[in-house]
């Protein structure tokens, strides 16, 4: 009996889904060229399949060097990044034609009110965020109001302290086996 069962090993992934998708969102943020704030997100369906991803950036296909990346608000909007940058959530929503109804969005920074409008309109059911560092400002406060009125859940993901240690170990194992 023991011999037959020798390959039935108790296995589990060292990552839960929330951490897995938040890592994907963090990887997406890595692509942002914004010198101040890099944000990434992924949208995931009810089967934990990734539907879309995005990061904050200028419009696809235009020469970004012709537009300002600075955030100094002493000059008109025309000369600030805020006039041109598309947020990660808006990019992820723009870049898919699939239904987002009942999907979850994992995002590294709590959404602003403009992205919240899109998230609510697309009937996304939950927002999972890493940071809410702008919680005192108007945008995220308005976003929370919209989420509460439309019953979109939101929760803060606190990655386990061992997450990056595990990731590092995993990468090292991958690289050892090249
Ligand atoms: Zn936004």
Of residues 32 and 65, more confidently modeled: 32
Q: What percent of the chain has pLDDT over 70?
A: 98
Cα 11 to chain centroid distance, Å, stands at 28
Task: Compute the distance from residue 100 Cα to the ligand 1 centre, in Å.
Answer: 17
| Residue 127 pLDDT greater than 60, yes or no | yes
Q: How confident is the model at residue 59 (pLDDT cuts 50, 70, 90)?
A: confident
Kindly state the tokens that stand for 30: 């890595």
Contacts 24+ apart (CB under 8 A), 62-66: 64/33
| Number of Cα atoms under 13 Å in the Cβ half of residue 162 | 6
**109 neighbors 133 (Cβ within 8 angstroms):** yes
- Looking at every residue in the chain, the average pLDDT score rounds to 94
Positive or negative: CA dihedral 59, 51, 25, 133: positive
Predicted TM-score of the model (pTM): 0.91
* Cα 112 to middle of ligand 1, angstroms: 4
**Cα-Cα-Cα-Cα dihedral of 158, 148, 146, 55, to 10°?**
20
Cα(88) to ligand 1 centroid in Å equals 7
Q: Using CB atoms within 10 Å of the CB of residue 11, give its burial: 0 to 12 exposed, 13 to 18 middle, 19+ buried.
A: exposed
CA of 103 to the centre of ligand 1 (A): 18
Catalytic sites, residue numbers: 89
For residue 127, give the nearest of 56, 16, 13, 25 by alpha carbon. Answer: 25
In the structure, what pLDDT confidence band is assigned to residue 33 with cuts at 50, 70 and 90? very high
CA distance 92 to 100: 11
């Amino acid at each position: 009996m023991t011999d037959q069962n020798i390959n039935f090993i108790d296995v589990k992934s060292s990552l839960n889904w929330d951490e897995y998708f938040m890592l994907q969102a963090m990887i997406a943020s890595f692509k942002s060229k914004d010198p101040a704030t890099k944000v990434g997100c992924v949208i995931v369906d009810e089967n934990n399949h990734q539907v879309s991803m995005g990061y904050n950036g200028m419009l696809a296909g235009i020469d970004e060097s012709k537009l300002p990346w600075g955030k100094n608000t002493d000059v008109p909007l025309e000369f600030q990044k805020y006039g041109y940058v598309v947020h990660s959530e808006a990019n992820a929503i723009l870049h898919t034609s699939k239904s987002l109804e009942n999907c979850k969005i994992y995002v590294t920074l709590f959404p602003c009110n403009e992205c919240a409008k899109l998230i609510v309109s697309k009937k996304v059911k939950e927002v999972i965020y890493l940071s809410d560092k702008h919680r005192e400002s108007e945008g995220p406060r308005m976003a929370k109001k919209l989420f509460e009125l439309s019953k979109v859940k939101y929760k803060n993901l606190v990655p386990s302290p061992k997450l990056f240690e595990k990731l590092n170990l995993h990468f090292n194992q991958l690289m050892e086996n090249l």
